Amino acid sequence: MSTWKGLLPFVAVFDGHGGTRCADFLQHGLLPQLKHHLLHRSFHDAPHESMSTAMQSACRDADKAFLDSHLADDSGSCAVFALIGKDKWVVVVLSRHGRAVDLCVAHSPQHPDERARILAANGHIVQDRFIFGYLGVSRSFGDRFVKVERPVVITTPDVVSGGSRHLHPGDEFLLLACDGLFEVFTPQEAVDFVAHHRSVNQMTPQAICDLLVHTAIENGSQDNTLLVLGAVAALMLADVGERFTFKLMVDRMESYRYFLAQITTFLYIPPMFCIVGYKATQTDFIDEEVNEFPKYKFFIMAVLDLCHAMLLFIPGGNTPPALTVIFMQATIPFSMLFGYLFHDYQYSRMQVVGCILMSSGLLLGILPLVLLSCSLASDVFEEAEMGWNSLCFLLAAVPGALSMLYKEQALAPQPMDVYYLNAWVAVYQFIGGLLLAPVIFDIPTLHLDQRISGLECLVNGVSEVRTDKCHEPHTDAITLSAAEKEAVSLLDESSDSGLRYMA
């Protein structure tokens, strides 16, 4: 890079997310902006405030140039870069006599100052880590959907500089890297690695960088990709198996669907409390504020989950098999709708398009059945029953989506152990189901026709109603539901809610 007082080395690392276009643009678009704003300044003589202003203006203009030229792109990129002169540098890790000096501040929602700024801009932080549930950085280039309407994510960089008065004789090198490296190496370990191969093995800087990246990948730096993909794969396998056996189970135990909903909830309670009990014997089990979490919020979650479960189990047997799979996805558009209406969530263009396509598929599935049920020509009770049961099955997504959003809101201000959460929610959901029993059994106008001898049907194969096939009940769905819950728990600890919606 040239200025009016000579050439300056410029080095940078761009870490893209949501696509590569923003990072690709910055490779060629940031440097011209820096040249423009430094053209009439002396890099060596200008005070820090002047350099900081120039850097901030260059980043702002580069960001504006990308947003103006890529109107249909929602990708973003983080960046760390340095200008290095003969007796001055402007920047992330500095090696001074072999000791790592960290020059950067992590721009994430977990940083107190960043968190306060995000909340002041009416942003929303999920799981104390993600802005609006999916963006884990608080400053970046691009990311149109969190900048256009309000400055939740900003482009203002932190600028650190050192001149001749601040340089130390022991300053050896600057190390610039993204978070993928520092998930494996501490700053000191990274500096030790570079210093060793630089002095002992006499390796070139490029060779050291290549080896450092290769070592980080070998030691597990995948930005949690492998762990998340493994959890998603386990969740999808359990989910597919559960939905198949769920349909078999509610069909063969038609008169005992209420019992199936209750027993499925009950079977979560012992293992969850066993895990909580074991973890309670370990040190640093759960923060005190987790134990003090208001139990009434668990009850609200349980009521929403109970409504969701009952609207799945009881109408599920009279819903066409193909539609049970399709209608299960209705939670996604309902979650997006409620998130936008109640919490002002922002979504990218591709997410909105996906939601519209999914909603269109749901409407194409339910409208023919509802119209058939409402038609005067449709006097067949079974057809009308299928239509209304399918509609109820679809509407199960409403309490499901509300439950998901309520949990995000209730749990956002503090950490929460997923097993502790699931244990208490399961208890309250089971109790709520017992209180719902009079409505299920004693109101004949609902035509639910449920029986109380579900345990005998499940264990002994004795059918109270001839149409039930208790001698061959498919109970695998209960086990697969537990497996699915474990996979979701793993996702809760390792990723964002966007992946949960996808799976």
Residue 186: Cβ within 10 Å count: 12
- Whether 280 and 177 map to the same domain: the answer is no
Bridge partners (DSSP) of residue 385 are: none
- Based on its alpha-carbon atoms, the radius of gyration of the chain, rounded to whole angstroms, reads 29
Tell me whether residue 131 is in a domain. Answer: no
- Tens digits of per-residue pLDDT, 168-215? 556 677 788 777 777 778 888 888 888 888 878 778 888 888 888 888
Reading the block at residue 104, the tokens are 């950067």
- Whether 214 and 231 map to the same domain: the answer is no
Give the C-alpha separation, 356 to 115, whole Å.
32
Nearest to 246 by CA among 161, 319, 151, 343: 319
pLDDT band for position 304 (50/70/90)? very high
Question: Which of 218, 239, 263 lies at the terminal end of a domain, its last residue?
Answer: 218
405-421 average pLDDT score = 79
Tell me whether residue 126 is in a domain. Answer: no
**Contact partners, residue 283, CB within 8 Å, separation at least 6:** none
- Residue 355 pLDDT exceeds 80: yes
Tell me whether residue 125 is in a domain. Answer: no
Give the C-alpha separation, 270 to 202, whole Å.
59
- Whether 420 and 469 map to the same domain: the answer is yes
- Whether 263 and 147 map to the same domain: the answer is no
- Whether 87 and 188 map to the same domain: the answer is yes
Q: CA 321, 322, 327: angle at the middle one, nearest 5?
A: 100
- Residue 332 pLDDT exceeds 50: yes
Tell me whether residue 162 is in a domain. Answer: yes
Looking at residue 397, its pLDDT comes to: 94
- Residue 122 pLDDT exceeds 50: yes
- Whether 275 and 354 map to the same domain: the answer is yes
Tell me whether residue 209 is in a domain. Answer: yes
Looking at residue 102, its pLDDT comes to: 66
> Domain limits at 52?
2-108+139-218
Give the C-alpha separation, 193 to 199, whole Å.
10
The pTM (predicted TM-score) of the whole model is 0.57
377-384 average pLDDT score = 58
115-128 average pLDDT score = 79
Q: Within its chain, how far is the Cα of 59 from the centroid?
A: 28
Tell me whether residue 295 is in a domain. Answer: yes
Lowest-pLDDT choice from 75-89, 191-205, 216-230: 216-230
CATH code for the domain of 29: 3.60.40.10
Burial class (CB in 10 A: 0-12, 13-18, 19+), 423: buried
- Whether 214 and 318 map to the same domain: the answer is no
- Whether 398 and 443 map to the same domain: the answer is yes
φ, ψ of residue 82 in degrees (nearest 5): -145, 145
- Residue 486 pLDDT exceeds 80: no
Question: Which of 184, 218, 252 lies at the terminal end of a domain, its last residue?
Answer: 218
Tell me whether residue 114 is in a domain. Answer: no
- Whether 191 and 243 map to the same domain: the answer is no
- Residue 12 pLDDT exceeds 60: yes
Tell me whether residue 92 is in a domain. Answer: yes
- Tens digits of per-residue pLDDT, 261-273? 898 899 889 999 9
More confident site: 484 or 15: 15
- Residue 449 pLDDT exceeds 50: yes
Looking at residue 127, its pLDDT comes to: 66
407-421 average pLDDT score = 77
- Whether 236 and 310 map to the same domain: the answer is yes
**Contact by Cβ (8 Å): 8, 43:** yes
Looking at residue 400, its pLDDT comes to: 92
- Whether 326 and 185 map to the same domain: the answer is no
Looking at residue 450, its pLDDT comes to: 80
336-340 average pLDDT score = 90
Nearest to 437 by CA among 425, 422, 454: 454
Give the C-alpha separation, 491 to 495, whole Å.
5
Question: Which of 218, 237, 252 lies at the terminal end of a domain, its last residue?
Answer: 218
- Residue 258 pLDDT exceeds 50: yes
- Total structural domains in the chain? 2
- Whether 423 and 486 map to the same domain: the answer is yes
